[in-house]
Chains A and B, each alone.
Chain A
């Protein structure tokens, strides 16, 4: 059974760095073809893909976030991570991680709400 769960700080101040963790089970990020992606959704709005990391450590980033993103993984502990630097109020959203089989997101976590506020 595949499960994913996101964790984060809940609230942080503008200009700080957001650190998110995705803890998963039911699959391994060392298996060929497996990737984990991060997607976010501001309240009442649409979905925005942020970044992807794959089994062989290839990575993809959304250029709209202008080099603020860093994705990484800890295969032995079944975790993936996302850092976003210099956050502002526009980064307030629900952040999801998802199992990415080939570009489509077959399983999603429950999401973690991140609020950026002074």
Chain B
């Protein structure tokens, strides 16, 4: 199985700040990576697919980058509605696997 190591596990940031979340795959996943946002009591929502493609309707302050084994999610100008847990997911090979999540809070 491909292991997805996500960091940090938790993060506290101020409104307007830029936030970066990292995901490291245990082998090359050829940009087959998605990012999701999950708010408490809600289903996950797709933000980014193919490492850097923004899902329709997602604000442009969210962006993804990376290749090979290293990927990142960037949130520019943090808003209060961005408080959530973020997960990465690889789909290069079965079994699809997720990172453990990053809980983002406001400082």
Contacts and interface: CB of A to CB of B under 8 A. Distances in A.
B98 A103 contact: no
A103 B43 contact: no
A48 B1 CA distance: 12
B46 A63 contact: no
Contacts of A104: 34, 46, 49-50, 89, 91
Contacts of B96: 37, 49, 52, 103
A28 B97 CA distance: 25
Interface stretch (A7-15, A17-25, A107-115): A107-115
A81 interface: no
Interface string B62-82: 000000000000000000000
Contact of A60 (B45, B87, B94): B94
Interface residues of A, number: 23
A52 B43 CA distance: 18
Contacts of A47: 36, 44, 87, 89, 98, 101
Interface of B: 1, 32, 34, 36, 43-46, 49-50, 55, 87, 89, 91-92, 94-101
26 contacts: A46-B87, A46-B98, A47-B36, A47-B44, A47-B98, A48-B98, A49-B89, A49-B95, A52-B94, A61-B94, A62-B94, A64-B1, A96-B44, A101-B49, A103-B92, A103-B96, A104-B34, A104-B50, A104-B91, A105-B36, A105-B44, A105-B89, A106-B55, A107-B46, A108-B45, A110-B43
Top 8 nearest A-B pairs (CB, nearest first) are A103-B91, A104-B34, A49-B96, A104-B49, A108-B43, A47-B98, A62-B95, A60-B94
Given A49-B95, A108-B43, 18 more contacts: A46-B87, A47-B44, A47-B101, A49-B96, A61-B95, A64-B1, A96-B43, A96-B44, A101-B49, A103-B32, A103-B91, A104-B49, A104-B50, A104-B89, A105-B34, A105-B44, A105-B89, A106-B49
